[in-house]
Amino acid sequence: MTIFKMVRFIMNSKRKITGGIAAGCAAAFIIGFLVSPGGILAGGTPKPSPTIDGSWNNGENWNGANWVFIEYIITDPDHVAAHNYFYVHLDGNTLYILADLVSDITNDTGQGEWFSVWIDCDNSTNIYTDAEWNTFADSEGADMLVFDYDLGVLNDTLEIEIWGAPPAETFIATLNDSVVSIASGFQSTRNGQQPHRIYEISIDTTHLYLFNQSAFNVGFLGYGTLASLVGGGFSEFWGAPTYFYYEYQWFNYIYEFTYFKCA
């Protein structure tokens, strides 16, 4: 999705930080400051030992995650423009993820909200159309999960309607309950004192085709009442990183090289 202004920080265990100014897109009025993969240590020991229950407590040690990605989102007046935090940790064959959505301060129900995680299992740089994602994703080392917040369950499919123009784009969510545990909560955290939405996730990576523990990438996409600034107006989509959804919205392609890099 397109964000009017975005600041992105990437932290991982390489203890190195590099950065650069992203090229702006005049048509979408995008201003970006991007820190390239490398980043600084997420910090803290011992390593995370989370319980997937939708409640983040200090004993879970998420701050010791292998990677922490921070995305700044400018929102509609009912939410908070803030840094949003995505903790990613690999422990053996289990991939743990905490999405700390500091911007999402409305505890909505019945609004059709969903949350999705897209995984580039093999650090490839593929460019997909929506049809190619559904047809070839598994063989190319890509997987996806979609969580329906209202129902509290994983969905088999995800439909995205760009600018309200039918037909909707349909994606197949290739992860299921035998592979994934996910729970949502609403609380204050060390990143934001005002209560907000969080998601805790664990994934059994032995079920991910071509998963490379040394080099994989992740992207996040959500829909709901949290509206982010898109050009001159607000969109009910939000994405992290910015260009993951932006490229799809404008060019109808999924660019794996825009994901957060876990390498």
Task: Give every CB contact of residue 173 below 8 A, 6+ residues apart in sequence.
Answer: 116, 144, 145, 146, 154, 155, 156, 157, 158
5-262: what fold?
Immunoglobulin-like (2.60.40)
Q: Kindly give the confidence (pLDDT) of every residue in the chain, 263 residues in length, as a single tens digit, with 9 standing for 90 and above.
A: 222 223 333 333 332 222 222 222 322 222 222 333 333 344 446 788 899 999 998 889 998 999 999 999 888 788 888 999 999 999 999 999 999 999 999 998 888 899 999 999 999 888 888 888 888 877 788 999 999 999 999 999 988 876 666 677 888 899 999 999 999 999 999 999 999 999 999 999 999 989 999 999 999 998 888 877 666 667 778 888 876 766 677 677 788 888 899 97
Strands 20-25 and 67-73: unpaired
- What is the pTM (predicted TM-score) of this model? 0.82
Domain ranges of the chain: 5-262
